[in-house]
Amino acid sequence: MSVATLQELVEDVAQQLDSPAVIEDDELRMVAYSPHGVLIDDIRRDSILIKHAPAAVSDWLGRFGLKAAAGPVRIPGDQARGILGRLCVPVSYRGARLGYLWLIDDDERLGSTQVRTAARAADQAGLLMFGDMLGERMASGVLAHLLSPVDELRAEAMLHIDDSGLLGLCGPVIAVVVRTAGAAAPLPQAVLAESLRDVTRGRSAGTVIGLANPDHGVLVAHDQGAAAGRELADAARASLLLRLQTGGAGVSVVAGIGDPAILADARGSYRQAKKAARVAATIGRTGPVARWQDLGVYRTLAQLPTDADAAASLDPRLAALLDQADGPVITTLETYLDLAGDAKASAERLSLHRGTLYYRLQKAERIAGVDLRSGCDRLALHLGFKLARLIGLYPKQVPGTAAGP
């Protein structure tokens, strides 16, 4: 048996043994699968569709000692769970468990000769999976250099990509950054790295590479249009969110998308994506995915520092308002400014009587010492609101807008 890829291997062994086959990694996530005909159960179908075994099935399979198994294990069928009998062959490389080769064998017709064939296929799968792991690590290292601020490292990465075809055909690329929002604990880098591998493994070679940093992940891919960039960002979010939920940490995940750039300028797209993700994490109105080109004024504000200097740059009148005014007054003023001073639209947005709206706006004017008829005062407040949101000074724990005047 001589095959070049896991997909070819799994198709080959399925044909030889006349049994539908899949290869999963050590976390029971789908890596490759053969064509399936009639002989398939709900568990296999779900694993193929959602790319990993359902949690209840993983727990059930854990009873059969798969992680410690040194050789093939027969898994009996379970009619109540809708599970057909299987042969499971561990996939390892030099003692390290990398995954499992599964063959449906409900009637146990696979004899010792066929089991030996499956074991040889598992050995070859281990070699291929180990090679894939090395390739992923090399790709991450090259990407780290490509996004580095050091000119020499970027030049070295460009040469490597050109020689190896790591990103396939030439053309513009985009960067996507994924991170958590509002998490109290730091993002586990190992979890982030695995979530990025989930994304890159599901795409053709030479189209996307990923890198896990301590507080965010980045993917660089060929630019195939806005819809494809959004799909990649959604996939990165979904993968990380799934892994974090599996680990019991209920946090939100956001992503930022940079502008297309030539490969030599991928660092610029990465920096844009990183800032866009920061906006998505702090400005709820952008949604969980923010594109740099869609951010408007936040393109400017996101380039300001987030330290004490940024806080000190806020107009003191806005600082007084945020410190002294109640939640409904602050929310009403920001909504009014967002709607270009349109009182009717503001009252409708907030479900307020027009008199209540004017009362709150006048109260805001008194506290801040501003005149909302002045374009300069409105600009100072409006930009200040957006900057305060971006650096985390606003909103605080403010009451909802349903309160009275």
Distance CA 369, CA 263 (A): 51
Residues in the chain, overall count:
405
> In terms of Cα–Cα distance, which of 220, 234, 219, 217 is closest to 179?
217
Distances (CA, A) of 175 to 71, 243, 300, 367, 388: 43, 22, 19, 44, 27
The model's pLDDT over 61-86, given as tens digits with 9 standing for 90+, comes to: 878 888 889 899 998 888 777 788 88
Distance CA 92, CA 245 (A): 28
Report all structural domains of the chain as residue ranges with CATH numbers, in order of start. 6-129 (3.30.450.40), 167-301 (3.30.70.270), 308-390 (1.10.10.2840)
Backbone angles phi, psi at 208, to 5 degrees: -155, 140
Query: Can you give the pLDDT at residue 325?
Result: 92
Query: Can you give the pLDDT at residue 48?
Result: 59
**E strand or H helix that includes residue 330:** helix 327-338
Question: Could you report how far apart the first and last alpha carbons of the chain are, in Å?
Answer: 78
SS3 of 274-322: the string is: HHHHHHHHHCHHHCCEEEHHHCCCHHHHCCCCCCHHHHHCCCHHHHHHH
Q: Is the pLDDT of residue 404 over 50?
A: no
Average pLDDT of span 288-294: 94
The pTM for the full model equals 0.71
The model's pLDDT over 29-38, given as tens digits with 9 standing for 90+, comes to: 888 888 876 5
| Diameter of the chain measured on Cα atoms | 88
The model's pLDDT over 158-208, given as tens digits with 9 standing for 90+, comes to: 888 887 777 766 689 999 999 998 766 677 888 899 899 889 887 877 789
Query: Can you give the pLDDT at residue 16?
Result: 93
Least confident of 349-363, 370-384, 390-404: 390-404
Peptide bond into 35 cis (omega under 30): no
Q: Is the pLDDT of residue 124 over 60?
A: yes
Structure tokens that stand for 153 in this block = 């490292």
Do 3 and 88 touch, CB atoms closer than 8 A?
Answer: no
111-117-122 Cα angle (round to 5) = 120
Cβ neighbours of residue 80 closer than 8 Å, sequence gap 6 or more: none
Q: What value does the mean pLDDT of the chain take? A: 85
Backbone angles phi, psi at 272, to 5 degrees: -65, -45
Distance CA 91, CA 74 (A): 15
Question: Which segments of 148-272 are extended strands (E)?
Answer: 173-181, 208-212, 217-222, 252-257
Query: Can you give the pLDDT at residue 389?
Result: 83
The model's pLDDT over 214-260, given as tens digits with 9 standing for 90+, comes to: 889 999 999 999 999 999 999 999 999 888 875 444 578 999 999 99
> In terms of Cα–Cα distance, which of 132, 71, 66, 126 is closest to 96?
126
The model's pLDDT over 320-329, given as tens digits with 9 standing for 90+, comes to: 999 999 999 9
Is pLDDT larger for residue 184 or for residue 354?
354
The model's pLDDT over 295-332, given as tens digits with 9 standing for 90+, comes to: 988 888 888 776 667 777 788 999 999 999 999 999 99
Do 177 and 281 touch, CB atoms closer than 8 A?
Answer: no
Q: Is the pLDDT of residue 358 over 60?
A: yes
Q: Is the pLDDT of residue 129 over 50?
A: yes
Q: Is the pLDDT of residue 13 over 80?
A: yes
Q: Is the pLDDT of residue 42 over 70?
A: no
